Amino acid sequence: FIPDSLLNYLNVFGNMDKEKRDLYLIVIVFLAFLFLVTEILLLKKNNYEKKKVQLPPTVPYLIPFIGSAVQFGIDPVKFLQEQKKKFGDCFTFKMLGRNMTFCLGSEGNNFVFNVKLKDATAEGAYLKLTRPVFGTEVVYDVENSVFMEQKKFVKDALSTAAFKTYLPTIIQETKQMFMKEFEKSEFTVELFPVLAELTIRTASSCLMGKEIRDQLHSNVAKLFHDLDCGLTPLNVFVEYLPLPRFINRDRANKELTELFLEIIKKRKLLENDPNVKYEKKFDVLESLMNSDYKSGSKMSDVAVSHMMIALLMAGQHTSSTTGSWFLFELAKNPELQKKIREEHSMILTGKTDTPKKDLPDLTFETLKQCTFLDNCLKETLRIHPPIHTVMRLVEQDLNYNGLTIPKGNFLCSGITVGHLDEVKYPDPLKFDPSRHVLLEESGEWTIGNVDIQQKSARNLYLPFGAGRHRCIGEHFAFIQLKTIVATIVNEFDLELVDNKFPEIDYTQLIVLPVKGSLLRFKRRT
Ligand code: HEM
């Protein structure tokens, strides 16, 4: 009686034969039942009623333990928008035995993103998901203060000097991917896998170092894929099950760590060899190897390796899905493609209609001037933010506007709901880059004259989050995506196939276009 949609959403069984799958299901249902009985009868004598505190309104549900998991899993944005209409900006719903409390709106965003460490933690919410994929000694597997230092090491590495060296690499990787591999004058591809491949090539060339990029064609790509399979919504709740995808994930982490350890060893040998002139590298690996904690100690080689895996995983799907939505939006509206080309040509040559063969390559400085392109990317991230929900685990009872959010709940912010707010962004699904205008005089970003200074957690526009857990890959992602898109748009006219704009797939952790979403490329002559 478990609906197929739920099985698809959980997406753990792959192609397992039906008998084996049913056996697993029976065990899971039995455990869930046991969990429920224990929860209700033995463990949780719900004190909150006795305490006479007011809890956030609860979304009603039919199936215990499962709660609203299916509705949320199929379309979280629609589900949250509906509950917001019924219950207001703060409500709780049940999902796989957990209570998920959402605080929406600008006040809700500020509450979630700036919640104090002693009150709610990201590690409590994400550790089960991230530790097996990234590895130990990094991110949520260490004290938050240590992770903050690790973030700073990466931020320092992503300097302007480094970005300047990355840009030609990204252009070269893009040209190689599109111009060499697809030599026809017109071709149609399933876009997301192509962009995923391009993202991994550019990110590994720039961040991981040449050694990893050179090995991408071998089993490294397979290892990344196996790690990736460990990043599903189910992994937020379950760290390990004796299933192939969990076993492959753990093996991939081990093998990839060993690969990085080998590279680090070789680099150290070269660095210390008096007979070799060591060439300074601008990749993040090099920078992490040479960073010191405040205590004076260095990151261990294992920690450096795990941090590299974490960065690649954090940036992979977020960037590739954003790039895909960006190109789909441009394909829907050829006028946008034209404007991007005109801006590109104007900045590089002072005229809007220079033929593409006469255009020099973009540089870090010229890319920065492409503000229309920038606004298109911002608008893509408004309508299609890859992360629709961020979570923290409540460590002690919280008070939010007189409501008590109990310890053990997940405290959540719905990024996409804010981005599609009808009052702030009239006609919210309309792709309109002119919503993002830099007011030269004030130096502030505005949307329809509303301050959206991105660093404030009170914002409704937070594609990269806010507060202590804010993204450190934003600048790299902007450079990577703007360069890729500018290079492609300059070379090709983009068209939707049968005028079909892709549906959204919410079954993965990151919001993707549904499988099989096609885009047509026509070489410009
Ligand atoms: C955190 C979005 C690219 C590394 C975050 C968060 C968001 C986000 C929303 C906050 C999560 C939370 O508060 O729980 C994005 C988007 C990207 C992108 C939309 C691209 C379009 C990248 C890249 C990297 C990266 C390329 C690495 C180079 C990180 C890291 C964190 C983070 C290390 C910090 C997590 C923490 O402090 O808990 N990102 N990201 N991201 N992101 Fe990104």
Over residues 414-450, the pLDDT tens digits come to 999 999 999 999 999 999 999 987 533 444 444 444 4
Q: Can you tell me the mean pLDDT for 153-164?
A: 92
Ligand 1, residues at Cβ distance < 6 Å: 122, 151, 311, 314-315, 318-319, 322, 385-387, 390, 463-465, 469, 471-473, 476-477
Q: Which of 7-16, 67-76, 321-330 has the lowest mean pLDDT?
A: 7-16
Identify the residue whose C-alpha is closest to ligand 1 atom 17: 318
Identify the residue whose C-alpha is closest to ligand 1 atom 41: 473
Over residues 305-349, the pLDDT tens digits come to 999 999 999 999 999 999 999 999 999 999 999 999 999 999 999
Does residue 34 belong to any structural domain of this protein? no
Does residue 444 belong to any structural domain of this protein? yes
- Output the CA 311–ligand 1 centroid distance in Å: 9
Q: Which atom of ligand 1 is nearest to the CA of 385?
A: 19
Q: Can you tell me the mean pLDDT for 272-288?
A: 84
Cα-based angle 414, 416, 420 (whole degrees, multiple of 5): 125
Contact residues for 56 (Cβ-Cβ < 8 A; gap 6+): 87, 90, 91, 92, 101, 400, 403, 405
Q: Residue 42: pLDDT above 80?
A: no
Q: Which residues of 252-261 are buried (b: 16+ CB within 10 A; e: fewer)?
A: bbeebbebbe
pLDDT at 44: 56
* Confidence class for position 96, pLDDT limits 50, 70, 90: confident
The closest of 315, 323, 373 to 348, measured between CA atoms, is 373
Q: Which atom of ligand 1 is nearest to the CA of 481?
A: 21
* Confidence class for position 150, pLDDT limits 50, 70, 90: very high
The closest of 164, 478, 341, 372 to 349, measured between CA atoms, is 341
Identify the residue whose C-alpha is closest to ligand 1 atom 15: 464
pLDDT at 225: 85
Does residue 5 belong to any structural domain of this protein? no
Q: Which atom of ligand 1 is nearest to the CA of 468?
A: 37
Over residues 462-504, the pLDDT tens digits come to 999 999 999 999 999 999 999 999 999 999 999 999 999 999 9
DSSP string, 301-370: HHHHHHHHHHHHHHHHHHHHHHHHHHHHHHHH-HHHHHHHHHHHHHHHHSSTT--GGGPPPP-HHHHHH-
Identify the residue whose C-alpha is closest to ligand 1 atom 14: 390
Does residue 8 belong to any structural domain of this protein? no
Distance, CA of 263 to CA of 488 (rounded, Å): 33
The token pair that represents 64 in the structure block: 């215990």
Which residues constitute the domain of residue 282?
A: 46-523
Tell me which of 318, 327, 455, 485 to substitute to probe ligand 1's pocket, judged by most ligand atoms within 8 Å of the beta carbon.
Answer: 318
How many residues can be counted in the chain?
525
* Confidence class for position 375, pLDDT limits 50, 70, 90: very high
| Chain CA centroid to CA 245, Å | 21
Question: pTM to 2 decimals?
Answer: 0.89
Does residue 182 belong to any structural domain of this protein? yes
Q: Does ipTM top 0.95?
A: yes
Does residue 18 belong to any structural domain of this protein? no
Q: Residue 267: pLDDT above 80?
A: yes
CA-based R_g, the chain, Å? 24
CATH at residue 50 = 1.10.630.10
If you search the block for the tokens 């690499």, which residue do you land on? 169
Q: Can you tell me the mean pLDDT for 52-72?
A: 91
Identify the residue whose C-alpha is closest to ligand 1 atom 7: 464
pLDDT at 450: 40
Identify the residue whose C-alpha is closest to ligand 1 atom 8: 464
Is the four-CA dihedral 362, 365, 368, 370 of positive or negative sign? negative
- Output the CA 494–ligand 1 centroid distance in Å: 29
**Total number of domains in the chain:** 1
Query: Roughly what angle, to the nearest 10 degrees, separates helices 244-271 and 301-332?
Result: 110
Q: Which of 29-38, 155-164, 256-265, 307-316 has the lowest mean pLDDT?
A: 29-38
Does residue 35 belong to any structural domain of this protein? no
Identify the residue whose C-alpha is closest to ligand 1 atom 42: 471
Q: Is 215 helix (H, G, I), strand (E, B) or coil?
A: coil
- Output the CA 506–ligand 1 centroid distance in Å: 18
Over residues 169-214, the pLDDT tens digits come to 999 999 998 876 667 889 999 999 999 999 999 999 999 888 888 8
Q: What is the mean pLDDT of the chain?
A: 89
Q: Which atom of ligand 1 is nearest to the CA of 387?
A: 9
Q: Can you tell me the mean pLDDT for 7-30?
A: 75
- Output the CA 510–ligand 1 centroid distance in Å: 11
- Output the CA 464–ligand 1 centroid distance in Å: 6
If DSSP states are collapsed to H, E and C, what string results for 92-148? EEEECCEEEEEECHHHHHHHHHCCCCCCEEHHHHHHHHHHHHHCCCCHHHCCHHHHH
- Output the CA 279–ligand 1 centroid distance in Å: 30
Is 471 annotated to bind a ligand? Reply is yes
- Output the CA 386–ligand 1 centroid distance in Å: 10
- Secondary structure letter of residue 57 according to DSSP: P
Q: Can you tell me the mean pLDDT for 61-87?
A: 94
Distance, CA of 454 to CA of 446 (rounded, Å): 10
Cα-based angle 492, 494, 498 (whole degrees, multiple of 5): 145
Q: Residue 243: pLDDT above 60?
A: yes
Does residue 131 belong to any structural domain of this protein? yes
CB 319, CB 464: distance < 8 Å: no
The token pair that represents 353 in the structure block: 């209609």
Q: Is 195 helix (H, G, I), strand (E, B) or coil?
A: helix
- Output the CA 313–ligand 1 centroid distance in Å: 10
